[in-house]
């Protein structure tokens, strides 16, 4: 099968990482996989090294990585012209967009193959009325969590399939972690944005340091992620005197190594879809502390693989991190629980579910309509 996936740009966001990992898996199983970005990283302020590394990963796996090179992601006519040229060359059997921004471009390009859209968040980044247009363009939707599925169900007039996100196999830990570090390393991963609410994590870092100081322990939080708000966050870290406790790593292509070095994973988001970083953390055997929001709630089972806290609550976040790092036996149990929960989210299972969906849509596009909702996979 010839599969064309479309993303906003080659960056370290969850949607983009999933598209990359799926393309690698598709290529490894004999399919022709192409990933197309709407814009170059340099055009929209993303990290060029991350872009280069992602494109190299796809090509080395046997896939193709291209960019429309749009100066403006809303340059629909230009984008449609370039996309038509690429489609004439790649001749895909199916087009899977991981960004709603690509749908106007595809509407103008008028591909004669099934089109799928994955909505990667529990919130809409566009007006709900946009679905009146989307429903004319797409043949089916993919939801990455139960909350995303519920959101799509309110607006979609096409089939919806729930397919859980997945982690790259390179994150797989050999076994659970059993020893607590004296000076624990805590890791957060994700684009520096309003959604991730890193200011709350910065405040929690100082509270955590104060709580562990009587034990002579010095925790340190590392945040791996780039984005246009990185400078603002760095200014906040310096202004609040949190530099001793928080390190901003910027965009990184070695998150698997960072997770192997970490002792705890933290997510401070105000909202989520189903963060791949949590799956990666669980696959790495990391206990997790995260906010009690959609997506996170579907991954974390309190007391089994981590803890959930109210969003925006620095004190609760600090207390949960301190608790997770205070008892070695409980810590080892959480690590084992994380590894067990990660079993559901293999890239092999995720890719198989996508390929099944593609085959169904190809086979039925000109025949009987698919049911409104397809059974969930997971």
Domains 2-166+346-377 and 170-342 fall in the same CATH topology = yes
Please give the pLDDT value at position 378.
Answer: 42
Taking residues 181-190, report their average pLDDT: 97
pLDDT (average), residues 4-18 = 93
Name the residue with higher pLDDT: 141 or 370.
141
Taking residues 127-147, what's their average pLDDT? 93
CA atoms of 36 and 212, how far apart (whole Å): 47
Residue 358 confidence (pLDDT): 97
How much is the mean pLDDT over the chain? 93
Q: What residue segments make up the domains of the chain, in order of their start?
A: 2-166+346-377, 170-342
Residue 11 confidence (pLDDT) above 80: yes
What is the phi/psi pair of residue 313, to 5°? -110, 95
In this structure, the number of other CB atoms found within 10 A of the CB of residue 224 comes to 23
- According to the model, what pLDDT value does residue 366 have? 54
Query: Alpha helix (H) ranges present in the chain?
Result: 14-28, 48-60, 76-90, 103-109, 131-137, 146-155, 198-212, 230-239, 255-261, 276-283, 296-299, 314-324, 328-342, 347-364
pLDDT greater than 80 at residue 213: yes
Query: Does the structure show a pLDDT above 60 at 368?
Result: no
pLDDT tens sequence across 16-44: 999 999 999 999 999 999 999 999 988 88
DSSP 129-149: GGHHHHHHH-SEEEESSHHHH
Q: What is the pLDDT of residues 63-108, one digit of tens each?
A: 999 999 998 767 889 999 999 999 999 999 999 999 999 999 999 9
Percent of the chain with pLDDT over 90: 86
Per-residue pLDDT reduced to its tens digit, 103-125:
999 999 999 999 999 989 888 88
110: number of Cβ within 10 Å: 11
Q: Which CATH number fits domain 2-166+346-377: 3.40.960.10, 3.40.50.2000, 3.30.450.20, 3.20.20.80?
A: 3.40.50.2000
Q: Tell me: domain 170-342, CATH 3.40.50.2000, correct?
A: yes
């Amino acid at each position: 099968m010839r599969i064309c996936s479309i993303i906003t740009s080659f960056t370290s966001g969850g949607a983009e990482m999933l598209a990359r990992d799926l393309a690698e898996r598709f290529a490894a199983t004999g399919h022709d996989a192409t990933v197309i970005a709407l814009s170059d990283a340099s055009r929209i302020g993303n990290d060029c090294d991350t872009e280069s590394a992602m494109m190299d990963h796809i090509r080395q796996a046997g896939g193709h990585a291209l960019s429309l090179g749009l100066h403006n992601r809303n340059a629909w006519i230009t984008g449609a012209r370039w996309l038509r040229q690429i489609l004439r060359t790649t001749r895909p059997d199916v087009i899977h967009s991981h960004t709603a921004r690509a749908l106007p471009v595809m509407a103008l390009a008028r591909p004669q193959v099934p089109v799928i859209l994955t909505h990667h968040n529990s919130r809409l980044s566009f007006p709900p009325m946009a679905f009146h247009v989307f429903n004319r363009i797409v043949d089916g939707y993919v939801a990455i969590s139960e909350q995303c599925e519920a959101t799509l169900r309110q607006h979609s007039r096409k089939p919806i399939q729930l397919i859980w996100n997945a982690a790259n196999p390179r994150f797989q830990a050999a076994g659970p972690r059993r020893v607590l570090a004296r000076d624990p390393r805590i890791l957060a991963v994700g684009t520096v944005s309003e959604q991730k609410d890193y200011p709350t994590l910065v405040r929690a870092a100082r509270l955590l340091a104060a709580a562990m100081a009587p034990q002579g322990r010095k925790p340190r939080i590392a945040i791996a992620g780039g984005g246009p708000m990185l400078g603002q966050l760095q200014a906040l870290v310096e202004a609040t005197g949190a530099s001793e406790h928080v390190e901003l790593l910027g965009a990184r292509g070695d998150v698997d190594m960072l997770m192997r070095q970490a002792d705890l994973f933290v997510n401070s988001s105000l909202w989520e879809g189903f963060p791949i970083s949590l799956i990666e953390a669980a696959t790495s055997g990391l206990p997790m502390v995260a906010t009690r929001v959609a997506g996170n709630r579907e991954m974390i089972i309190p007391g089994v693989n981590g803890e959930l806290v109210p969003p925006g609550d620095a004190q609760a976040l600090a207390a949960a991190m301190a608790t997770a790092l205070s008892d070695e036996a409980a810590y080892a149990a959480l690590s084992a629980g994380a590894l067990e929960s990660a079993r559901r989210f293999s890239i092999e299972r995720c890719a198989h579910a996508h390929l099944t969906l593609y085959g169904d849509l190809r086979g039925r596009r000109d025949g009987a309509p698919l049911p409104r909702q397809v059974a969930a996979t997971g």
